[in-house]
Amino acid sequence: MNSDITALNAEIAKQMRDLPNVTLIDPRLRGSDGYLREEFAYDGLHLTPKGYAALRDAIAPHIAQHCVP
């Protein structure tokens, strides 16, 4: 399944590359082997609380740009 996810992510990046006002965010949850790192996933697919926190931390600065505190 990992190769399918990699291919899907590459296709999404390709499709979004030339769209205005689109920011692709890579929360860096994968290890050098291309799989989700153990601390971020229970089974290589489903995120742990630490994985969701890393995803939140990657997205939050981009959301904050457009929100009034």
pLDDT digits (tens, 9 = 90+) for 31-62: 988 889 999 999 988 999 999 999 999 999 99
How do the domains of the chain map onto residue ranges? Answer: 25-69
Do the Cβ atoms of 34 and 9 come closer than 8 Å?
A: no
- Beta-carbon contacts of 52 under 8 Å, excluding residues fewer than 6 positions away, are none
Q: At which residue do the structure tokens 């979004």 appear? A: 16
Helices (H) and strands (E) in the chain, counts: 2, 0
- Beta-carbon contacts of 58 under 8 Å, excluding residues fewer than 6 positions away, are 25, 26, 27, 28
What pLDDT does 24 receive?
87
